[in-house]
Amino acid sequence: MSKTFKGTIAALSAATILAGSASAQSLSGDLRIVSDMSNPAPRAVMEGLAADFGAMHPDLNIELEIVDREAWKTQIRNALTANAPDVVNWYAATRMTPYVDAGLFMDISDLWEDPAMADLASTKGAMTLNGAQWGVPYTYYQWGVYYRKDIFEELGLSEPTTWDEEIANCQVIVDSGRACYTIGSKYLWTAGGWFDYINSRTNGYEFHIQLANGEVEWTDDRVRETFANWRTLIDMGAFIEDHQAYSWQEALPFMVDGEAASYLMGNFAVAAMRDGGLTDDQLDFYQFPQINPDVAPAEDAPTDTFHIPSGAQNVEAAKAFLLYVTSPDVQSAINGGDALGQLPVNAAAAVSDDKFIQEGFDMLSNNASGGIMQFFDRDFPAEMASVGMEGLQEFMVFPDNLDDILERLEDTRQRVYQ
Amino acid sequence: MATATTQNRSWYRRNEIAVTPWLFLLPGILFFALYVIIPIFQSVWISFHEWDGLGEKTWVGTANYERLLGGDRKFETSFWNNLKWLVLYLLAIPMGLSISLFLNQTVRGIRLYKSLFFFPFVISQVVVGLVFSWFYLPNDGLFDVITGLVGIDIKGGVLGNPNTATYGIIAAGLWPQTAYCMILYLTGLNAVDPEQVEAARLDGAKGLKMLWYVIIPQLKPATFIAFVVTIIGALRSFDFIAVMTNGGPFGSTRVLSFYMFEESLSEFGFRMGYGAAIAVVLFFIMLIFIGYFLWSMYQDEKGVR
């Protein structure tokens, strides 16, 4: 419960401090925000942000519209073109490209020169395209292996740090009649996480990003090496069967029931696992193990963002809102365990004392020297990502089709990056 | 004098007979043009471009069609799946006919039975798809349990196995479509002439002979409508695929309409030119059938006159 207190106090102090400093610049007019934070907890956070920011600027009339998160992925195009709002939600990295190229996101590089933004330096790269910054992050979360500690203890296993240990562990788990990993690949993206990790651990972050940028052929031997490593796991029966029929949520019961020992997932899965009845004594986290010792570990840590459309009417207020959202106190409050339960983007913000957030923060700060990946479907351009993830799913079910899959991906690469 | 009176009458009065029908048709024509005809031409126009829906269109000529028809495997899969849909979906017609024959009797509570049989058509296709996808779930799904009893194990579950997934979805689609055909035939059966049935019975016709030579010919209008709605339904089979497999596993259940949606409007889509090219191809396939239907309707009309 202490985390709740801490969050509340942080939020209170944030409100007071900012209320003091902000009265100097008076903002007025309308500020229209369209947000995709539609799940219950994020929605409360967004509504709180709008209310607090409104309280700081009494002359400013804030109109907040919350759109379904999935629907927003296609609606954003209309929203940005016709009667654009002042602030919108989106995602970092390549996912911004269509809107940056079409001139629909505003270049806010000047905002990034604000001294207050220095604490966001670690995420600047993900917000940069064509040498300019196009938005600010507000939260991110780690990926990694969530596992059943009680099963590991029962089998006398410890957290693996190398690929050999990983495979040895997995063999023990398989021999005990369980699957090492649960996964639901019906909606494809979960397989993207596996590829991100195995590829970056095998060939390094630089290679992974080159592949994402279309600079390397999919039929390259290094890519094949990645798939060979992946296949080791597939052939030993590490993954649950029939995973192509499940969504990621439908794959959770395998872990809850103890039929599978672990899950490579983003931190958002923890809430679902706890809801499923797993206690923190049963549940633990480890970083994806090292495969190639010469390669620095890179981590998937998808970042969610705010942007100002280039058609915004009240740019001044929008920029003030972006600064407000990224300020340390607001960051501590909205990423707290009782709010988003994720990692703050501001280095000066307090990290929730939830054990998984703490572990993730530690991992990303101290042991992700390779780089931060935004996830397969955000680093790769849209068409490459969709064809790619379909191929990855097929590979996980029919590993023998690899040559055909790689040729297909290579065909797509040659067309997409022209 | 006669010319003077013609001069006095207003233009509308003089042309009343010719103009009035067009006035009544005008709103319909206007909206039909705005929402159907013009978009068709726009789609064709877009299909010659490369366009992400936001920026400028780039003219690429027939490049989209060359790629589409020149060995795009997704297109080939979609096309063959469309054919499977077309052929198997027609099963709804004999199935609907047999159910309607079965229900066409007067017993206590027949209205209730009829409405129960019609029920799948009333509920949303999305709900039907969802229910069937649970039915097909590997391990826990009822279908898997039943096939397990007779020793058949479909690897990956019906919807997870690329060899069975399309058939699984078509089976789900047949459920409401059969109900639709059933209701068409039930109304058709009301119009069957009892005197002809009586006469046939006197001549000694019964059972299948009666059905084939007396009943079915009288059901021709119902059969025609059932064909039209079933074929159109098969060609636009989108909801079931989106709900049940989302085109997967690995794209094996795509049909043209779903592929078009994926390319142009889905999360990873917005290749409007290519999507429009698929739409145009689908349009021409549909045009074959629609053309045939219109032609045969025209023939019937002529026959009546």
- Measured CA distances, B5 to B1, B16, B18 (Å): 7, 16, 20
Whether residue B238 is contained in a domain is answered as yes
Rounded distance, CA A6 to CA A15, Å? 14
- Choose from B51, B52, B54 for mutation: most chain A CBs within 10 A: B54
User: Do A204 and A95 belong to one domain?
Assistant: no
Whether residue A240 is contained in a domain is answered as yes
Token pair belonging to B62: 């027939």
Spatial contact of B101 and B211, defined as CB atoms under 8 Å apart: yes
User: Do A402 and A256 belong to one domain?
Assistant: yes
Total structural domains in chain A? 2
Which range is least confidently modeled, A175-189, A294-308, A365-379, B83-97?
Answer: A365-379
Look up the domain containing B258 and give its range.
76-270
3-state secondary structure of B206: coil
* DSSP annotation string for B125-173: HHHHHHHHHHHT-TTTSHHHHHHHHTT---TT-GGGSTTTHHHHHHHHH
Whether residue A8 is contained in a domain is answered as yes
* DSSP annotation string for B262-296: HHHTSTT---HHHHHHHHHHHHHHHHHHHHHHHHH
Residues 6+ apart with CB under 8 A from A118: none
pTM for this predicted structure: 0.84
Whether residue B163 is contained in a domain is answered as yes
Whether residue A361 is contained in a domain is answered as no
Nearest CA in chain A to B159: A245
What CATH code is carried by the domain that includes residue A340?
3.40.190.10
Spatial contact of A142 and A286, defined as CB atoms under 8 Å apart: no
User: Do A59 and A111 belong to one domain?
Assistant: yes
User: Do A331 and A186 belong to one domain?
Assistant: no
Is A244 close to B156, i.e. CB distance below 8 A?
A: yes
Residues 6+ apart with CB under 8 A from A225: A202, A203
Whether residue B292 is contained in a domain is answered as no
What CATH code is carried by the domain that includes residue B226?
1.10.3720.10
Work out the average pLDDT over B76-84: 93
Nearest CA in chain A to B263: A383
User: Do A282 and A324 belong to one domain?
Assistant: no
Whether residue B176 is contained in a domain is answered as yes
Whether residue B53 is contained in a domain is answered as no
User: Do A281 and A319 belong to one domain?
Assistant: no
Work out the average pLDDT over A12-32: 59
Rounded distance, CA B146 to CA B169, Å? 18
Rounded distance, CA A394 to CA A301, Å? 25
Q: Which pLDDT score, from 0 to 100, does residue B83 have?
A: 93
Q: Which pLDDT score, from 0 to 100, does residue A232 have?
A: 95
> Tens digits of per-residue pLDDT, B120-171?
989 999 999 999 999 998 888 899 889 888 888 888 888 888 999 999 999 9
Rounded distance, CA A411 to CA B71, Å? 12
Whether residue A363 is contained in a domain is answered as no
Whether residue A319 is contained in a domain is answered as yes
Q: Which pLDDT score, from 0 to 100, does residue A81 have?
A: 87
Q: What is the dihedral of CA A32, A38, A44, A46, to 10 degrees?
A: -30
Residue matched to tokens 């010919």 = B217
Does the pLDDT of residue A16 top 50, yes or no? Answer: no
Does the pLDDT of residue B56 top 60, yes or no? Answer: yes
Rounded distance, CA A367 to CA A299, Å? 9
Smallest Cβ distance to B267: which of A73, A242, A390? A73
User: Do A110 and A135 belong to one domain?
Assistant: yes
CB atoms within 10 A of CB B200: 16
Chain B residues with CB inside 8 Å of A245's CB? 136-138, 156-157, 159-160, 249
Spatial contact of A184 and A249, defined as CB atoms under 8 Å apart: yes
User: Do A61 and A100 belong to one domain?
Assistant: yes
Could you give the count of Cα atoms lying within 13 Å of B173 in the half-sphere of its Cβ?
Answer: 31
Whether residue A408 is contained in a domain is answered as yes
* Strand A136-140 versus strand A303-307 pairing type: antiparallel
Q: Which pLDDT score, from 0 to 100, does residue A13 have?
A: 46
Spatial contact of A311 and A105, defined as CB atoms under 8 Å apart: no
User: pLDDT band at A63, cuts 50/70/90?
Assistant: very high
User: pLDDT band at B5, cuts 50/70/90?
Assistant: low
Look up the domain containing A47 and give its range.
2-140+302-349
Total structural domains in chain B? 1
Please give the mean pLDDT across all residues of chain B. 89
Q: Which pLDDT score, from 0 to 100, does residue A49 have?
A: 94
Q: What interface predicted TM-score (ipTM) does this complex get?
A: 0.80
Q: What percent of chain B has pLDDT over 70?
A: 97
Nearest-Cα distance to chain A for B138, in Å, is 7
pLDDT, greater one: B191 or A181: A181
Q: Which pLDDT score, from 0 to 100, does residue B6 have?
A: 55
Spatial contact of B113 and B201, defined as CB atoms under 8 Å apart: no
Whether residue B42 is contained in a domain is answered as no
Rounded distance, CA B136 to CA A203, Å? 40
Rounded distance, CA A189 to CA A236, Å? 23
Q: Which pLDDT score, from 0 to 100, does residue A8 have?
A: 47
User: pLDDT band at A405, cuts 50/70/90?
Assistant: very high
CB atoms within 10 A of CB B146: 11
